[in-house]
């Protein structure tokens, strides 16, 4: 690999609270090592259009506590083509960048692997997604903030559920994984949690809801992970009135949506993002690339990026069991 002199840093895919804290950590750690840092705006799209700006200590002041990403983000279709990636690689070389820190989810890391494999860049990934679905880290940047935001909303809905003796179906994000739903469901004491990892058909969900009703629950909260498996809360809601067991049910659906992606990062996310940003730069300095840095059992761990996006992080069965026992 060419000598490490300039690191490009970018965020891509869904924004996650704590991405700014990570950009700050990458920038400051690299500057301490005497390296130049180039911020790439709008993720892979900005790489293709050459939207680069040198980052100084001051350019990352006062961003630690903010949500979103100062570098902007996006999902680029052009980068999915070889021609798009070739253009991105040319622009990076022209800007003197030979190493990259990619902050994002599995799509971002997949893109980084392609840059490494096809064009020889040294890349290190930082897991940044509220979904927490990346293999190789116990938690990803943004997850803690997202679950606290969702929990705050669910607690508020509980007041109405209780006052009106209603059943609420609350849909949370997570793409095709249930980490957000499980954490929020446990935290909110949801009477039922529906996650794709434990695929249930609509009939078994209806049976469990009927059971809940017969236990004289005057109000109930069901937390449902979005995703392809059951098509979310609306589909379940539409199936209930057709069943005579639910004729008297007072039912409402709330889809929390993008509120879960915004807001100031929690202390936990700020610390995690700072640790990971620093670890990413140190990894490049030590000559370890094509890896994602994560935190496993409290310690920084490097996992080959190809392994991260090819393996599936699974929900801990004990946690699922725990929810079933106490909720
Ligand atoms: O990956 C983060 C996430 O918020 C998912 O939970 C959700 O399915 C998706 O992004 C939504 O993406 P978009 O903001 O592009 O609609």
Q: How does residue 249 score in pLDDT terms, banded at 50, 70 and 90?
A: confident
pLDDT tens column, 72-85:
998 999 999 999 99
Residue whose Cα lies nearest atom 12 of ligand 1: it is: 14
Residue 216 has pLDDT above 70, yes or no: no
Mean pLDDT for 263-269 is: 98
More confidently predicted of 208 and 18: 18
Helix (H, G, I), strand (E, B) or coil at 294: strand
pLDDT for 294 equals: 98
Mean pLDDT for 230-249 is: 87
pLDDT tens column, 91-140:
999 999 999 999 999 999 999 999 999 999 999 999 999 999 999 999 99
Q: What are phi and psi of 268, to 5 degrees?
A: -60, -45
The percent of residues above 70 in pLDDT, for the chain, comes to 98
Ligand 1 centroid – CA 294 distance (Å): 21
Q: How does residue 221 score in pLDDT terms, banded at 50, 70 and 90?
A: very high
pLDDT for 123 equals: 98
Residue 154 has pLDDT above 90, yes or no: yes
- Ligand 1 atom showing the smallest separation from residue 260 Cα: 4
Strands 52-55 and 36-40: antiparallel
Helix (H, G, I), strand (E, B) or coil at 18: coil
Is residue 295 within 8 A of residue 137, CB to CB? The reply is: yes
Q: Give the separation between CA 275 and CA 271, rounded to whole angstroms.
A: 6
Taking the CB of residue 114, how many other CB atoms lie within 10 A of it? 19
What global pTM score does this model have?
A: 0.96
- Ligand 1 atom showing the smallest separation from residue 16 Cα: 2
Q: Which residues contact 183 (CB under 8 A, 6 or more apart)?
A: 143, 147
Is residue 197 within 8 A of residue 320, CB to CB? The reply is: yes
- Ligand 1 atom showing the smallest separation from residue 227 Cα: 8
Domains of the chain: 6-142+265-310 (3.40.50.450), 144-262 (3.40.50.460)
Ligand 1 centroid – CA 320 distance (Å): 23
- Ligand 1 atom showing the smallest separation from residue 175 Cα: 8
pLDDT for 219 equals: 83
Q: Which residues contact 215 (CB under 8 A, 6 or more apart)?
A: none
pLDDT for 324 equals: 85
Residue whose Cα lies nearest atom 13 of ligand 1: it is: 14
E strands, 59-166, in order: 99-104, 122-127
DSSP state of 259: G
Q: Which residue ranges have their beta carbon within 6 Å of ligand 1?
A: 14, 105, 129-131, 173-175, 226, 261
Q: What is the mean pLDDT of the chain?
A: 94
pLDDT tens column, 291-319:
999 999 999 999 999 999 889 899 988 99
pLDDT for 232 equals: 87
Ligand 1 pocket check: which of 175, 229, 255 to mutate, most ligand atoms within 8 Å of Cβ? Answer: 175
Ligand 1 pocket check: which of 75, 104, 173 to mutate, most ligand atoms within 8 Å of Cβ? Answer: 173
Q: How does residue 199 score in pLDDT terms, banded at 50, 70 and 90?
A: low
Tokens describing residue 190? 């949801």
pLDDT for 167 equals: 93
**Positions marked active-site:** 131
Q: Which residues pair with 103 in a beta bridge?
A: 11, 126
Q: Give the separation between CA 119 and CA 33, rounded to whole angstroms.
A: 25
Q: How does residue 1 score in pLDDT terms, banded at 50, 70 and 90?
A: low
Tokens describing residue 129? 């997604």
């Amino acid at each position: 690999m060419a000598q490490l002199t300039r690191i490009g840093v970018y965020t891509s895919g869904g924004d996650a609270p704590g991405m700014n804290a990570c950009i700050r950590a990458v920038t400051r750690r690299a500057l301490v090592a005497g390296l130049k840092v180039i911020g790439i705006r709008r993720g892979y799209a900005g790489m293709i259009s050459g939207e680069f700006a040198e980052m100084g200590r001051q350019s990352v002041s006062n961003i630690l506590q903010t949500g979103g990403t100062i570098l902007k983000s996006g999902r680029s279709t052009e980068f999915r083509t070889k021609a798009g990636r070739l253009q991105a690689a040319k622009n990076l070389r022209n800007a003197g960048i030979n190493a990259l820190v990619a902050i994002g989810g599995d799509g971002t890391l997949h893109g980084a692997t392609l840059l490494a494999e096809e064009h020889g860049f040294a890349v290190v990934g930082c897991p940044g997604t509220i979904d927490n679905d990346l293999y190789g880290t116990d938690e990803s940047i943004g997850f803690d903030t997202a679950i606290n935001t969702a929990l705050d909303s669910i607690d508020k809905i509980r007041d109405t559920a209780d006052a009106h003796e209603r059943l609420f179906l609350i849909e949370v994000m997570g793409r095709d994984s249930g980490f957000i739903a499980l954490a929020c469901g446990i935290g909110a004491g949801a009477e039922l949690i529906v996650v794709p990892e434990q695929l249930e058909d609509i009939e078994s969900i209806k049976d469990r809801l009927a059971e809940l009703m017969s236990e004289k629950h005057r109000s109930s909260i069901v937390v449902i992970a979005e995703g392809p498996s059951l098509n979310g809360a609306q589909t379940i809601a539409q199936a209930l009135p057709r069943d005579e067991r639910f004729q008297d049910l007072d039912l409402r659906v709330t889809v929390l949506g993008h509120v879960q992606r915004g807001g100031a990062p929690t202390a936990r996310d700020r610390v995690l993002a700072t640790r990971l940003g620093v670890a990413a730069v140190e990894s490049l300095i030590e000559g370890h690339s094509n890896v994602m840095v994560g935190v496993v059992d409290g310690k920084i761990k490097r996992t080959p990026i190809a392994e991260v996006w090819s393996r599936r992080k699974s929900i801990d069965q004990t946690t699922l069991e725990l929810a079933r026992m106490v909720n």
